[in-house]
A and B are shown apart, each in its own frame.
Chain A
Amino acid sequence: MTKRNNYFLAILILIAAGLAFLAPSYGWRLRNVLSPLATGQSEATNLSAENEALKAQLAEFETIASQLGISTTSLRGSNPSSLIPAMVYSRYPMNFKNEMLVDAGAGQGVTPGKGVLFNGLLVGTIYEVFSDGAVAQTVFDPGFRLPVRIGTSSVDALLQGGTEPAVVSISKDAKVQEGDIIYAAAPGIPYAIPIGEVGEVSMAENSLFQQATVNFAYDINSIRAVEIEK
C-alpha cells in the first residue's frame, strides 16, 4: 500500500467516523429512505385494521346494549382517549418480534402498562420507560398475557403471546368461530381495543377449555409508527 493510498484510507475512515458519531441522524434517514415501508402500510392492511376496529366497537355496543336493555343505535361514537404518537426504531440487532422501542418516553407522558396501538389495534403494552423512549412488550412475546373477550357475545378468554399467539381458557360451551373479533378486556387498557380475529378453534389438551389461533391484520416487523395510550 502506498503512502498516498494510506492517506486516502485514513480520510475515508475519518469521514465514516464523523458521520457515525457526529451525525448519526443521517444513518437513520438513509434507512428510512431504503426501508420497504417508507411509503406506508398497504391499503389492504389499513382496511383490515379498520374492519377489526369496527367489529370490536360493534361487539362493545352489543354487550352494553344487551346488559342495559337499550338499542345499539342509542350508543354512538367511541371514547377515544388521548394518544401519544411515536416512531418505532429499527432496533437492530434486537430484532426479535417480542419487543419494540419507540421514541416517546416519560418526557412525552408515557407510563408503564399502557397500551400501544397501531391503526387502532393493540399490538402490545409499555413495560420500560426512559426519558425520551420506551420499550413495549408485543403480543408476540411468549411472556405476554392479557384478559380478552371474543365476539359480540363477549366470551372471556386469555390472550397468550408467543411466536404464534393464541387465545386460551375459552369456556368449552362458548360459541366462538373463525373471524370473531378479539378485543382487550384488561384493567389499565381502554375496553374493547381490537387485537385480532379468531383463527382456527380447537379443544385444549385437557378438554376443559377451547383455544384458538389469532389472525392479525398487520405484520409487526413492518410497523414504523404507533400510538401510545396516555
Chain B
Amino acid sequence: MNLGKIFLGIVILLLALLLQLWIPVAGIRGDFILATLIAFAFIYSFWELVFFVILSFFAINWQPMPSFELVVFSLMPFAAHALRVWLTWERWIGIAISVIAGIFVFYAIVTPAAAVRNWESLLVDALICTAFAEIVAWGAE
C-alpha cells in the first residue's frame, strides 16, 4: 500500500463528489463517483478498492440503512475489478467499456423504466463520465 496513492484517491473522490453535486449532466446528476470507482478498480488493489467503495457509500448514502440502489452501486466497481483480467490489452479501453457498461447496467437494474425513458441523458452521462474516468486513471497513475 502506498500512502500517497491512497491520499490521492481520497482527493480524487472528493473532487468527483463536488462534480456530482455541482455539475448537472444532461439534466441529471452525473455518475462521477461511480466512474471514479470503476477507474480505481483498474488501479488499486482489492482491499484498497474496498476502502474507497465504503468511503463513497458514506458520502452519497441518503438514508440510515443501506438502500438497494446503493448496494448495487457498491457492487459495480468490484464487478469491474473482477473483469479487468479480461480487459488488460489496453487499459483505457477497459476503463471506457467498464464505465459505459457500468452506468447502463446500474440504471437498468435499479430503475429500468426511468433508464429507458431517459436513455439520451444516460448516454451523455456515460460519455462524460468515461472521459472523467480516463483522466482519473491517468492522474492516479
Residues of A within 8 A of B (CB): 1, 5-6, 8-10, 12-13, 16-17, 19-21, 24, 26-28, 30-31, 34-36, 89-98, 101, 142, 163, 221
Contacts and interface: CB of A to CB of B under 8 A. Distances in A.
A34 B21 contact: yes
A222 B140 CA distance: 31
A12 B31 contact: no
A91 B62 contact: yes
Given A5-B1, A34-B21, A35-B21, A93 B110 contact: yes
A175 to B, nearest CB: 32
A6 B45 CA distance: 12
Which among B1, B6, B48 has the highest number of chain A CB atoms within 10 Å? B1
Interface of B: 1, 3, 6, 17-18, 20-22, 24, 27-29, 31, 34, 45, 47-48, 50-51, 54-55, 57-64, 66, 69-70, 73, 106-107, 110-111, 114, 117-118, 121
Given A12-B6, A20-B54, A93 B31 contact: yes
Secondary structure at the B interface, as helix, strand, loop or mixed, is helix
A221 B24 contact: yes
- Going nearest first, the 3 A-B pairs with the smallest beta carbon separation are A20-B58, A5-B1, A16-B54
Contact of B59 (A8, A9, A27, A163): A27
